[in-house]
Amino acid sequence: MGLGAVPGRQPAFREGLAVAVQYAKAVDCPRIHLMAGRVPVGADRAAVAGEMETTFIENLRYAADILAQEDMIGLIEPINSRITDPRYFLNTPHQAAAILEKVGRPNLKLQLDIFHCQIMDGNLSRNLETYFPLIGHIQIAQVPGRHEPDSPGEVNFPYLFQLLESLGYTGYVGCEYAPKGDTVDGLGWLRSYWESRGLQHEETGKATE
């Protein structure tokens, strides 16, 4: 789950970053997820929070400088600690925004996963509006099953998609979910959404470009 905020692992973080940059260049991907890592086993989160944040800020500044040389963006993603990973250091968009402000690098952005945000905080519309200037990537999955956005669950994705459009979001939306069945069949939600927006099937290829 990464090493970004793990004290004493700075050399390993830098080695991993160098490899990630090479992979990203090979596949022409301009964004790299800089994972924070976990609170050490047996440690109290509150007791180590300050040291871990300091380590994370140090590593993020280093990463931002390296990525700037390649015209790349670094992303940090809050991952919920209630279900997915109780020990992951970065777990709310509020925490991520505060760290990005302290780092102070324009090529570091927030990777906002709607699944994790809903579990930790809810208030999705206001969070998207508040943190929109920081967002560099969006990921989606229905809550609580983590399946397709049209599967039964808590989140009204058509509303959120329209909100993102109204905010002017032009980036990718990552389908960070586990398909309930066949992957391609599971993308039926996307065809239905396009049709609801007045797009024909022959136009969908153009819409994704």
pLDDT in tens, 42-88: 999 999 999 999 999 999 999 999 999 999 999 999 999 999 999 99
> Active-site residues: which are they?
77, 176
- pTM of the model as a whole: 0.91
Quote the CA–CA distance of 32 and 28 in Å, as a whole number: 11
Omega of the bond leading into 144 within 30 degrees of 0 (cis): yes
To which residue do tokens 């690098």 refer? 105
Quote the CA–CA distance of 90 and 40 in Å, as a whole number: 13
* Tokens linked to 28: 């022409």
To which residue do tokens 């398909």 refer? 179
Nearest to 100, CA basis, from 136, 124, 76, 129: 76
The pLDDT tens digits of the residues spanning 77-113 come to: 999 999 999 999 999 999 999 999 999 999 999 999 9
The pLDDT tens digits of the residues spanning 142-173 come to: 999 999 999 999 999 999 999 999 999 999 99
Mapping DSSP to helix (H, G, I), strand (E, B) and coil, where does residue 31 land?
Answer: strand
**Angle between the 45-69 and 10-26 helix axes, to the nearest 10 degrees?**
40
Quote the CA–CA distance of 117 and 23 in Å, as a whole number: 28
Name the band, by pLDDT with cuts 50, 70 and 90, for residue 202: low
The pLDDT tens digits of the residues spanning 113-126 come to: 999 999 999 999 99
